[in-house]
Amino acid sequence: METLSEKLRNLETDGAYPFHMPGHKRQLDGAYRYDITEIEGFDNLNSPRGIIAEMNKSIADHYYSEVSFFTVNGSTCGNLSAISAVADMGDTILIARNCHKSVINAVILRKLNVEYINPKMYNDSLIGFVSVSSVMQAVTSLESRGTKPKAVVITSPTYEGVVSDVKGISEFLHSKDIPLIVDSAHGAHFHFDSAFPEDSLRDIDICIMSAHKTLPVLNQGAIIHVNSDLVDPENVMRYISMYQTSSPSYVIIESMSRALELIDEKNPFPEYVANLRRFYEKTADLRTLSVEPISSDRDMGKIVIYTNNYLTGDELGRTLREDYRFELEMYGRDYVLAMTSCMDTAEALDGLAEALVTIDKGIDISAKCDAEPGQIIDTSTKGDADLRQRIDYLRHHEKRMEPFEAVKNTVSMPVEETIGKIAGEVVTAYPPGIPVIIPGEIIDESDVDYMKETPCYTVLWAKAQQEKTQFSKSYSATRNWA
């Protein structure tokens, strides 16, 4: 049977002249040549019956999933669709406080009542997994108030690769007929090698994966798996088709199909895992920096390098970039994150390990900056290193309103004046898009410091409700964030 790639390539020789969209008419080189729309022989993205339906089936087969849907609008579309499929206006939902902002946006769009489950810290620096007991506690507390949540939403793995006990959480929730939604945006590769944590896909009612983050798939390509007695997959697809563009990007779709072909034909995972293991061995004995070691409850593909108060994350990230030409995924205040995938070469991973060994050797072991627990050194605002408190994402914020109420009728005001006001919009740095403040929460002094300090963006004005009880400001910092 002709593959999707072959069908697209054949357009160049066999295709009829395109008196249809897109407007580039396939006249330019590269991806333009096969960027088509719903034409004869192809499919409808939002009501797939042909070649896209076949690819969805192939994705499901690869993941041993009952039903899988591909979307060209990322896990953002997946989260919006999953939550919309299980909860409607006035329903209550439980979400982990470290969820991506798209989860909050779903809660706002569907006008849901929300309660938050705080994840645990994985170690001093990384958040965090959601424990079974915290889910039990949150559900029981709601039940004692006469409410059953329509679903529980958690992120696993997190941006830094920390996984939760999804099986345990799902067992508890299913004993109460509550569906579990897992944002596995960063876990699309787990399934392909036992060196990674289990994806537990069959235990999750709706699981969302950004294939583009950790597989050789173009940006925005994502998968939504439905394996549930509680959720109707057709309902999920209905919402995907509402939130997703109606323009099928065959460029993105084909990249998913090719990723599966590549995995089938070459299986790059054993070599990837071997390269990763070698990286961890080479960096096991650093003296000043340290690398979060391999463990069964974390994705070893996310390389977290701590600066341990010898450098700031920013300084290490810049050194790697400027002196060694390695561009990292993110610089935190006291660690940096290197994201890897099965497409990374042995040379790149060995090179990163060697760069770290060299940088580590060059640091004076007696030059560690003294810091109290919870403090880190930081040069982000003042030039010279000073000590400051680590941003605590899990710090309690009083919730005064439901997020959907808090986003209404906001007006602008200077950030300094927002202390004590109710947030009207998500405040987050991107990446990773985890909200520091969620609409409906009271803003405090530390939040204002955070907004003023975040280096890539100077916030002067924010929005507040006309009655001046609400505030709203969403801003995004790029690679340097607190």
Ligand X SMILES: Cc1ncc(COP(=O)(O)O)c(C=O)c1O
Binding site for ligand X (CB under 6 A): 74-76, 100, 102, 155, 159, 183, 185, 210, 222, 431-433
Q: How far is the CB of 435 from ligand X (least distance, A)?
A: 12
Nearer to ligand X, 56 or 102 (CB): 102
Helix, strand, or coil (residue 47): coil
Q: How far is the CB of 359 from ligand X (least distance, A)?
A: 27
Nearer to ligand X, 82 or 286 (CB): 82
Nearer to ligand X, 153 or 464 (CB): 153
* Ramachandran sector of residue 189 (left: φ over 0; alpha: ψ -120 to 50; beta: rest): alpha
Nearer to ligand X, 179 or 433 (CB): 433
Q: How far is the CB of 468 from ligand X (least distance, A)?
A: 33
Q: What are phi and psi of 376, to 5 degrees?
A: -140, 160
Both tokens of residue 123? 């170690």
CA 322 to chain centre: 27
- List all residues 6 or more positions away from 123 whose beta carbon is below 8 Å from its beta carbon: 292
Helices and strands (H and E) in the chain: how many: 14, 19
H helices of 368-436, where? 403-406
Nearer to ligand X, 82 or 401 (CB): 82
Per DSSP bridges, beta strands 113-117 and 92-96 are: parallel
Q: How far is the CB of 250 from ligand X (least distance, A)?
A: 18
The Cβ-side half-sphere exposure at 380, using a 13 Å CA radius, reads 30
Nearer to ligand X, 199 or 360 (CB): 199
Per DSSP bridges, beta strands 410-414 and 386-389 are: unpaired
Place of tokens 């005001």: 413
H helices of 363-441, where? 403-406
CB 132 within 8 A of CB 168: yes
Q: How far is the CB of 409 from ligand X (least distance, A)?
A: 28
Q: How far is the CB of 316 from ligand X (least distance, A)?
A: 22
Nearer to ligand X, 77 or 377 (CB): 77
Amino acid at the residue 393: Y
Closest residue to ligand X using C-beta atoms = 74
Q: How far is the CB of 369 from ligand X (least distance, A)?
A: 30
